Structure 1
Amino acid sequence: MQSTIAMQACDLRQIDEDPAFASRLEKLVSLSRERHINTFTQIEWPDFLPDDQWWLPPELLSVYGTEHAETMPEQQLKLLSKWECINQFSLNVEGERELLSALSAQLYAPDLPHIDTYIHHFIDEENKHLWFFAEFCRRYGGKVYSSKKVNVAGERFCREMEFFLLFARILIFEEIGGYYNVIAGGDERVTPFVRMIHQIHHADEARHITFGRTILSQSKEIAFAAADPAEREAAVAHLQRYVQISIESLYQPAMYRDSGIEAGVALRRKLLSHPARREHHVSRLLKRPLKFMNEIGINLEGQTL
Structure 2
Amino acid sequence: MIADRERTAERLLNSSARNSYDPDVDIDWAADLLPDKYFLPAHRSSLYGTPLWDRLSEQQRIDLTRHELASIASVGIWFEVILMELLVRHSYNSDPLTRHTQYALTEVADECRHSVMFARLIEKVDCPAYGPGQTGLRLGRLFKSIAFGPSMFAGILVAEEITDALQRESMADPSVQPLVRMVNRIHVIEEARHVRYAREEVLRGTPGLSRVGLSYHRAMLARTAFIVTRSLIHPRVYRAVGLDPYEARRVAWANPHYRDTLRWAGSKLTSFLGENNLIGGSSRKIWQAVALV
Classify the TM-score, shorter chain. Answer: 0.7 to 0.9
Q: 2:186 aligns with which of 190, 200, 203?
A: 200
Is the contact between residue 96 and residue 130 of structure 1 (CA under 8 Å) also seen in structure 2?
Answer: yes
Identity of aligned residues (%): 24
Aligned ranges 1:275-286 → 2 under 5 Å = 275-282=256-263, 284-286=264-266
Counterpart check, 1:291 vs 2:271: yes
Is the contact between residue 52 and residue 79 of structure 1 (CA under 8 Å) also seen in structure 2?
Answer: no
Aligned to 1:178: 164
Greater shift in the superposed pair: 199-208 or 142-151 = 142-151
> Measured at CA, do residues 43 and 278 of structure 1 come closer, stay the same or move farther in structure 2, by a change above 3 Å?
closer
| Cα root mean square deviation, aligned | 2.5
SS in 2 for 1:101: helix
Deviation (angstroms), 1:287: 0.6
Tell me how far apart the structure 2 counterparts of residues 156 and 128 of structure 1 sit (CA, whole Å): 20
> Measured at CA, do residues 262 and 133 of structure 1 come closer, stay the same or move farther in structure 2, by a change above 3 Å?
same
Letter of the 2:125 partner, please give it: Y
Q: 2:113 aligns with which of 124, 128, 142?
A: 128
Q: What runs of 5+ residues in structure 1 fail to find an aligned partner?
A: 1-17
Aligned to 2:174: 188
Aligned ranges 1:102-141 → 2 under 5 Å = 102-110=86-94, 114=98, 115-141=100-126
- Tell which structure's C-alpha radius of gyration is larger: 1
TM-score (structure 1 length as normaliser): 0.83
Deviation (angstroms), 1:19: 6.3
> Measured at CA, do residues 47 and 37 of structure 1 come closer, stay the same or move farther in structure 2, by a change above 3 Å?
closer
Letter of the 1:39 partner, please give it: P
Instruction: Could you list the structure 1 runs, at least 4 aligned residues long, displaced by more than 6 angstroms after superposition.
Output: 152-158
Letter of the 1:135 partner, please give it: R
Deviation (angstroms), 1:277: 2.9
Tell me how far apart the structure 2 counterparts of residues 173 and 204 of structure 1 sit (CA, whole Å): 15
Deviation (angstroms), 1:22: 2.2
Aligned ranges 1:108-257 → 2 under 5 Å = 108-110=92-94, 114=98, 115-148=100-133, 149=136, 151=139, 162-222=148-208, 224-225=209-210, 229=212, 231-257=213-239
Letter of the 1:34 partner, please give it: R
Deviation (angstroms), 1:247: 1.6
Deviation (angstroms), 1:135: 1.5
Deviation (angstroms), 1:187: 0.5
Counterpart check, 1:67 vs 2:90: no
Tell me how far apart the structure 2 counterparts of residues 279 and 143 of structure 1 sit (CA, whole Å): 27
Give per-residue Cα distances to partners, 1:261-288, cap 9 Å, x unaligned: 3211221022213344333322x02111
Is the contact between residue 38 and residue 66 of structure 2 (CA under 8 Å) also seen in structure 1?
Answer: yes
Is the contact between residue 174 and residue 209 of structure 1 (CA under 8 Å) also seen in structure 2?
Answer: yes
SS in 1 for 2:130: coil
Deviation (angstroms), 1:140: 2.4
Deviation (angstroms), 1:99: 1.1
Deviation (angstroms), 1:119: 0.6
Letter of the 1:294 partner, please give it: G
TM-score (structure 2 length as normaliser): 0.86
Letter of the 1:151 partner, please give it: L
- How many residues are treated as equivalent by the alignment? 280
